Amino acid sequence: MANISGLTRDPKVGVGKIGDAGYIVIDTGGIDSVDEDELSAAAASKALQMAKECAAIILVVDGRAGSNASDIMLADELRKFNIPVTVAVNKTEGLDFDLTLSEFSHLQIGPIIPISAAHGEGLISLIELATSQWETASYYETEAENLDQIRIAVLGRPNVGKSTLVNRVLGDEKMITSDIPGTTRDSVEFDYMRDEQSYVIVDTAGVRKKGKTDGIAEKFSVMQTLQALDRANIALLVIDAREPITDQDLNLLGLAIDSGRSIVIVVNKWDNLSEEVRDDCRKALDRRLRFARYAEICFISALRGTGLKAMFDSINRAAAASIQKHKTNDLTKILIKALDTHQPPMVQGRRIKLRFAHMGGSNPPKIIIHGNQGDKLPESYKKFLENFFRQELNLVGTPIKFFFLKGENPYSGRKNQLTKRQLVKKKRLMRFVKKR
Ligand SMILES: Nc1nc2c(ncn2[C@@H]2O[C@H](COP(=O)(O)OP(=O)(O)OP(=O)(O)O)[C@@H](O)[C@H]2O)c(=O)[nH]1
Ligand SMILES: [Mg+2]
């Protein structure tokens, strides 16, 4: 291969295998928006067409050249396919790890991993990462990498008080509210400023529970909610304190978690309740929302406007957590501390060794952990690690996406080449050992 970009014109196909799983790799033609000659335009559209048919996409970018307009354009195109994308930053040998990652994290399309194709470094990890994404729910990526504007999707069952809350926040009766479920039919969004922070608040139609008669309405409201989540920073899940927590509340929480957005849970209609009812409500929340412990819970009355300041504090914390970035060094230190606290178990007589951790992107934060047999870690240990990292990094409100790779350390540097003299010495030593 020569060092000229756009050299691969015709797609090449190869077959590979990792563990029991086989896969087919398609090397598409390079895409370059800068030199827009006909040949490369044709290659680009062909490559995109082929990518559409794939189960996973690897977007290869050049770590030495840095990110450019065509990377951004490509990421925008690929995002539309709804196929998991892994970003491989090539030619990273000898480059500063964290700088390279942050250079490309604004692509916001999938986890990022550094490789050096010429030296064969990081390739196994890359394939593992790309294929591991098949199993996970799709993680939407928002384009926002900063918090110039925080988008809040207000979701919940019908009648829990979403529109009342939006009105109270805006200080204006923008939305129609009533005690008839299904008042809001379509999502509506509003700009809002508070303490010099700009927000967009999206009121959505309440998601009805599954029923035979209103199946279509249910699907429609779920679709609307998903759309609102897609572009949001925060999923604000509103629950009615005066009703028992239902499966529908939990389903919505599940949707929010799968979307990868940060979550704040709002328990509404907290006004005029006896201490006894409040206590029961707190206990029920504790019992049923266990799987989303990382989300902060706020108790408010949309009608009276109480608890809103605490709610916005939670929103700001959760939004900030979703775009936090951490240095490889710091994450690896936390990993070592976790290993010291609680060793990974043995698998087939071998201790699982985890060696280092790095960031693979943000919103939601992605942490990539490398080690031998990293793919064999039991769920309980993964949970332990997640909680450990969450505590150490003080990450509230945001899901964290972990990837455990068994591949080699892409940054271990090349293997030490032995000199001729060292080779002779090694041979002699091996012979000596064998004799004994
Ligand atoms: N007591 C009390 N009632 C509330 C509160 N918030 C909302 N409500 C009442 O709950 C009913 C439903 O309020 P909405 O804001 O229309 O509910 P929604 O979630 O937007 O409902 P849909 O648009 O149908 O999904 C109304 O009668 C409100 O007055 C609250 O904090 N306390
Ligand atoms: Mg409403």
Would you state the pLDDT for residue 233?
Answer: 92
Q: Name, of 30-34, 308-312, 379-383, the range with top average pLDDT.
A: 308-312
Q: Does the structure show a pLDDT above 90 at 303?
A: yes
CA–CA separation, 346 vs 357, rounded Å? Answer: 20
Ligand nearest to the CA of 268: 1
Q: Does the structure show a pLDDT above 90 at 348?
A: no
Q: Does the structure show a pLDDT above 60 at 237?
A: yes
CA–CA separation, 208 vs 221, rounded Å? Answer: 7
Cβ–ligand 1 distance for 306 under 6 Å, the answer no
Cβ–ligand 1 distance for 184 under 6 Å, the answer yes
Cβ–ligand 1 distance for 243 under 6 Å, the answer no
Q: Does the structure show a pLDDT above 90 at 136?
A: no
Dump pLDDT digits (tens) for 74-130.
Answer: 888 888 887 888 888 888 887 777 777 778 878 888 888 888 878 777 887 787 787
**pLDDT band at 36; cut points 50, 70, 90:** low
Domains of the chain: 12-132 (3.40.50.300), 149-322 (3.40.50.300)
Dump pLDDT digits (tens) for 185-232.
Answer: 889 999 999 999 999 999 999 888 766 555 676 777 788 888 888 889
Cβ–ligand 1 distance for 160 under 6 Å, the answer yes
Would you state the pLDDT for residue 326?
Answer: 87
Classify 272 in phi/psi space as left (phi over 0), alpha (psi -120 to 50) or beta.
left
pTM above 0.75, yes or no: no
Q: Ion ligand 2 — residues with CB under 5 Å?
A: 162-163, 183-184
Ligand nearest to the CA of 182: 1
Which comes out higher in pLDDT, residue 101 or 385? 385
